[in-house]
Amino acid sequence: MMQSRTHTCGQLRLADAGKQVTLAGWMENVRVVSAGLAFVVLRDFYGTTQIVADSEEMVNTFKAITKESTISVEGTVRERDSKNDKLPTGEIEVVPSKVTVLGRCRHNELPFPINRSREADESQRLKYRYLDLRNPEVKKNIVLRCNVVAALRRSMTEHGFLEITTPILTASSPEGARDYLVPARNHPGKFYALPQAPQQFKQLLMTSGFDRYFQIAPCFRDEDARADRSPGEFYQLDMEMAFASQEDVFAVCEDVLPPIFAQYGTYDRASSAPFMRIPYAEAMEKYGSDKPDLRIDLTVQDVTDVLSGCGFGPFEGNVVKAVVVSDFHETRKFIDKTLADVEVVSGGKPYWFRLDENGQVVGGIAKFVTPIQEQVIAALGLKANDFVALSAGKRTQAQKTAGVLVKTLGAAVPGHMDKEQYAFCWIVDFPMYEIGEESGELEFCHNPFSMPSGGLEVLLKAERGEIDPLSITADQYDLVCNGVELSSGAVRNHDPEIMIKAFELVRLGEEDVKAKFPAMYNAFTYGAPPHAGIAPGVDRMVMLLAGEDSIREIIPFPMNKNAQDVMMDAPSAVTQKQLDELHIALVKPEN
């Protein structure tokens, strides 16, 4: 017995024929054949069952009920004459003796057909998400998410990690994105912040003597939406290990993740441990991205020496990159559209030429390449029917455009992407510092809490001018799968002296460090263990496992691209009384 039903709508089989049963669920559809015969589809969380009304009275009963009403059906199970092999319950049907309406749908027209909700406009799906989630195809992603999270918890516990929850209301701190601020009613003019990540707390746990920590951590960042990033909040498998190195973190991830991808993934192939390791500089040169999709066989080649002096204006004085696509037989229309798409995504204009079936340079910028055809063919190892896409500009822009060319052409041209697999890699040796685009000065490149490779000594050399600060790498790493950054992690900077020196290079002194990170700085002065960690994104992980292109498909109640919850009408206005209690005055922005 289950609540007010004897069976679920996905449970009955031919062996149950003759039983008296009670089912409950949503009335999905009614197909009236005649005055005395109708077929009804009853759906619940577990599946669907066919109900057959074989009397005029019962047909009229169902005709009076609106679709998507919740009903209870008491009746007898019998074998179906025309079986449906596509359904687990396709060999049986239920002949009802009693029908009770439990919750009437008061709308004759639905915003969209439930079983085709994924075809509806996204704004409608988000507004009526509770209807969208009735679609079994939508619901299965949420079930997958639940199962994956449960499996992650089991595996982490088996690996000796303790699940510890960290605060949601905390202090604002500079961690790379905008904070969500919460006014403190009892402390006028002061604010809590929702944590961008449990970064400081998990490091403090290491200084407290906990050896292995994890949690499925909610994180809050006021960022714009992307296909692989939800605005507002997201969840990550946050972990940290004391007395640990990069190798320890890699070993845990390579032990925990592959079995989960093997069990729950859409594809049945995944990289086995150890995952490929690619230095950041090599990734940018070879793939044009620090998130390479290793399912694609295209790579980037540097042709600056060969083409920068060919007389083509955009190449002169710039870095020139090439992506060679073999066995290319696409149309000029395809080329123009594909390269236009690349320009929109990368912000850099790509160029092209190709070799015809006779091995002659044609199309695009062929007239500039033809005079040096032999050198170009030799440099790139070209053969007949090869297509060459080119990017140019300052090194970072040329790399970025080439990276988009690799991904776009790899996915669009047949034969260059082995899609149905999970291709993992580690990106290592990230630069510690970079020149800020807005400031034009030295800034942290990724994570200010990372340990610089070489420790204090390398920072002192940079301070003395013996080495370029931009040459310093960090003990930092990203886990990438199918071109999606699953996670960032690092060996942490646990030494106050090294921490202060690292911040001094970006014009922040000891007092600034104490002010911005008081708890962590003070804790480290009491003897902190070396520690390292990582935090794979749960949302992105489930998105990959489900084979979805948008992260909103695996979140129960996602926001739209403008960080609005159109179902709950959030964010929303509040009363003046609420504002007064929080000592907040609103200032309308000037147009």
**CA distances in angstroms from 526 to 25, 90, 202, 242, listed in the order given:** 60, 67, 16, 15
Position 212 pLDDT exceeds 90: yes
Rounded to an integer, what distance in angstroms lies between the CA atom of residue 175 and that of residue 179? 9
pLDDT of residue 554: 96
Domains of the chain: 14-103 (2.40.50.140), 123-270+481-491+529-585 (3.30.930.10), 296-412 (3.30.1360.30)
Least confident piece of the model among 233-247, 504-518, 530-544 = 504-518
DSSP reduced 3-state for 208: coil
E strands within 294-350?
300-302, 319-325
Least confident piece of the model among 64-78, 214-228, 559-573 = 214-228
Position 407 pLDDT exceeds 60: yes
Beta bridge partners of 278: 427
Average pLDDT value for the chain: 94
State pLDDT tens for residues 351-397: 999 999 999 999 999 999 999 999 999 999 999 999 999 999 999 99
User: pLDDT class for 97, splitting at 50, 70, 90?
Assistant: very high
Q: Please give, one letter per residue, the 3-state secondary structure of 63-89.
A: HCCCCCCEEEEEEEEEECCCCCCCCCC
Nearest to 486 by CA among 543, 418, 420, 410: 543
pLDDT of residue 436: 85
User: pLDDT class for 439, splitting at 50, 70, 90?
Assistant: confident
Position 1 pLDDT exceeds 70: no
pLDDT of residue 175: 62
User: pLDDT class for 227, splitting at 50, 70, 90?
Assistant: low
Burial class (CB in 10 A: 0-12, 13-18, 19+), 64: exposed
pLDDT of residue 2: 60
Q: Which two tokens stand for residue 495?
A: 């030494």
Position 529 pLDDT exceeds 90: yes
Rounded to an integer, what distance in angstroms lies between the CA atom of residue 242 and that of residue 254? 18
E strands within 356-461?
361-362, 387-393, 424-428, 433-435, 442-444
Strands 387-393 and 319-325, bridge-based pairing: antiparallel
pTM listed for this prediction:
0.90
pLDDT of residue 438: 81
pLDDT of residue 265: 95
pLDDT of residue 412: 96
Least confident piece of the model among 67-71, 77-81, 85-89, 173-177 = 173-177
E strands within 469-577?
476-481, 484-491, 531-534
pLDDT of residue 176: 65
Position 522 pLDDT exceeds 80: yes
Amino acid identity, residue 552? R
